Chains A and B, each alone.
Chain A
């Protein structure tokens, strides 16, 4: 008996060292959340929550969730997940992106209930490993879009035991790359002008109509987005300056970490000789003007060619 216990302990330890919950970090791309929300919006009538499969990979303890797809399921007296649908969909996704295997599953809502445990077991069997579980609170409880990641740990050693499992929360980050940033920025810009118009609109009947029209916003031009970026930069500098002023006056206690960070940032600025910079700028301006000239020259050549061709045709 003691021997058995020892083996059990050993097993626990080894398992712990591999699956230590604190070691896993989850990074999720915004497109996954977009997908989940879209799925929720398109749910069947009377359906409380939706579930789906997460695709991505585990990179030495950093789980990157890159994609997801919806799965049909029903919860009532009995829980049913259409595993056939899931497998077919997975096949299709693997065909277009073979480097994204199944990594877990998502559900909307903020709680984890008994059904979650059952679904989790489905997925455990599907992927031969312990799945990551992502929840997105579409009900916006506490006025936030609660996005959380969990990993289930079985309470008993035996996988089929009915003792249940507990879900440990994992640290979660939203990960974006450059292009995604630009895309999100374009989307938020649309959103920004939307809220602006709603605020501006007077509280009359046509406010709603206006909102209907403003639901969709055209993409901002380059100049407009530049203005936006500069405005934001200005705002950030302002808040930094305010903070420094407040610390200098002794109104608030300065945080040495922020101070060091600011000093580092200022050091990172290149020391530019005004004279040299002036020259560099002038040169680039000349280059650019030259290219503008060439571009318009080419365009006028094209117009001439077009005219010649037209006069030959008739």
Chain B
């Protein structure tokens, strides 16, 4: 197998085991995110895919829309990306798009626009494109929070040869775990960077933020977010119940109409029934979208994960503290 075939085979192979991120990308994401706070500005990841792994070696932020008072729309951003990549190539930086990153608060990123963007990346550029999610709040507590996601193959299959649409997602039997898959992250540093880290380690890095015992604010925020989600989910449930009631009502009208007509010995046309039903109820029925509840479920599940991991850590710290004071 020559190298071209190998590359093509790799490109067509949807399997992705691990994402390898250069240290510089981590630092750049942290820095860019900090610059723009409280605005959450996404950016582009550059790198290369090799076999079943993906190497991310550089990144740059998109221009902040708030700062641009004039005509910077979708086209402007696309142009910006192209231009930036052209210039980066001149200084031998990888100019191959491998995905994007976005900072989020408390990992609340399960929404339709994220899915749509990620879908565009995976369908148009490379199915190995990933989304890096960075949480500045969690990171400020002392532990870097960086996760890597992409849409599952099941999900991508669903939209193969079809444009992205809400209806299609509604009709598919997706479970909440079928949308995103998490991909393990590995950190990679060049030797020179390692040398720098070795030097920095001695003086500046002393990270004791994570020894903080009480982080109730964070906990409150996550619980608050989760409660909001559960509230919205219950609203969705009541919408579904409402829909069901109205549907039954319409069925009842329909059946009684058909019965009446058959008793009179007439044959009924489908259009006639529809017209009758429409005249009886004042508004047509819309089935509530399943996507919203699916996404909410996903988000709640994510919150639960965060809560249990945070509580686990806190309980460990508290029991450590207790042991120390008892001594």
Residues of A within 8 Å of B22, CB to CB, are 38
Q: A187 to B190, Cβ gap below 8 A? A: no
Q: What is the total number of residues of chain A having a CB less than 8 Å from a CB of chain B?
A: 85
* Residue A97 interfacial (CB < 8 Å): yes
Residues of A within 8 Å of B20, CB to CB, are 216
Given A34-B196, A180-B27, A281-B322, verify A233-B93 contact (CB < 8 Å). Answer: no
Q: Closest CB-CB distance, B52 to chain A, in whole Å?
A: 14
B197, B204, B205, B304: the one contacting A298 at CB < 8 Å is B304
Q: A178 to B209, Cβ gap below 8 A? A: yes
Residues of A within 8 Å of B325, CB to CB, are 274, 277-278
Contacts of B183-198 to chain A: CB distance below 8 A: 184-190, 192-198
Residues of A within 8 Å of B5, CB to CB, are none
Q: A291 to B311, Cβ gap below 8 A? A: yes
* Residue B223 interfacial (CB < 8 Å): yes
A106 to B318, CA, bound (A): 47
* Residue A188 interfacial (CB < 8 Å): yes
Q: Closest CB-CB distance, A275 to chain B, in whole Å?
A: 11
Q: B314 to A288, Cβ gap below 8 A? A: yes
Q: B207 to A31, Cβ gap below 8 A? A: no
| Interface-facing stretch out of A16-24, A117-125, A137-145, A242-250 | A137-145
Q: A34 to B23, Cβ gap below 8 A? A: yes
- The majority secondary structure among interface residues of chain B is helix
| Interface-facing stretch out of A41-49, A156-164, A202-210 | A41-49
Q: Per-residue 0/1 for A59-81: is the Cβ within 8 Å of any B Cβ (1 yes, 0 no)?
A: 00000001100111000000000
Q: B226 to A181, Cβ gap below 8 A? A: no
* Residue A285 interfacial (CB < 8 Å): yes
A100, A194, A309: the one contacting B194 at CB < 8 Å is A194
B30, B31, B211: the one contacting A233 at CB < 8 Å is B211
* Residue B232 interfacial (CB < 8 Å): no
A215 to B139, CA, bound (A): 24
Q: B62 to A96, Cβ gap below 8 A? A: yes
A211 to B195, CA, bound (A): 16
Q: Closest CB-CB distance, B230 to chain A, in whole Å?
A: 7
* Residue A37 interfacial (CB < 8 Å): yes
Residues of B within 8 Å of A298, CB to CB, are 226, 230, 300, 304
Q: A183 to B142, Cβ gap below 8 A? A: no
Q: Residue of B at shortest CB range from A277?
A: B325
Q: Closest CB-CB distance, B6 to chain A, in whole Å?
A: 20
Beyond A145-B196, A281-B318, 19 additional pairs, beta carbon < 8 A:
A33-B196, A98-B67, A145-B199, A181-B207, A183-B27, A183-B144, A184-B204, A187-B197, A217-B187, A219-B185, A219-B187, A222-B210, A226-B316, A284-B318, A292-B307, A294-B307, A295-B304, A302-B297, A302-B300
- Please list the 3 inter-chain residue pairs (A to B) with the smallest Cβ-Cβ separation, ordered nearest first: A216-B188, A186-B144, A42-B92
Q: Sample 22 A-B pairs with CB under 8 A, ordered by A number.
A: A29-B31, A37-B192, A96-B41, A96-B62, A174-B203, A177-B34, A179-B140, A181-B207, A185-B142, A187-B193, A191-B194, A217-B186, A218-B187, A222-B143, A225-B210, A278-B322, A278-B325, A288-B314, A289-B311, A291-B307, A295-B307, A298-B304
List the interface of chain B (C-beta within 8 A of A).
20, 22-24, 26-28, 30-35, 41, 58, 60-64, 67-68, 80, 83-84, 87, 90-93, 136, 139-144, 146, 173, 175-176, 184-190, 192-201, 203-211, 213-214, 216, 219, 223, 226, 230, 297, 300-301, 303-304, 307-309, 311-318, 320-322, 325
List the interface of chain A (C-beta within 8 A of B).
29-31, 33-35, 37-44, 66-67, 70-72, 85, 88-89, 92, 95-100, 138, 140, 144-145, 174, 176-188, 190-191, 194, 215-219, 222-223, 225-226, 229-230, 232-233, 274, 277-278, 281, 284-285, 287-289, 291-292, 294-296, 298-299, 302, 305-306, 309-310, 313
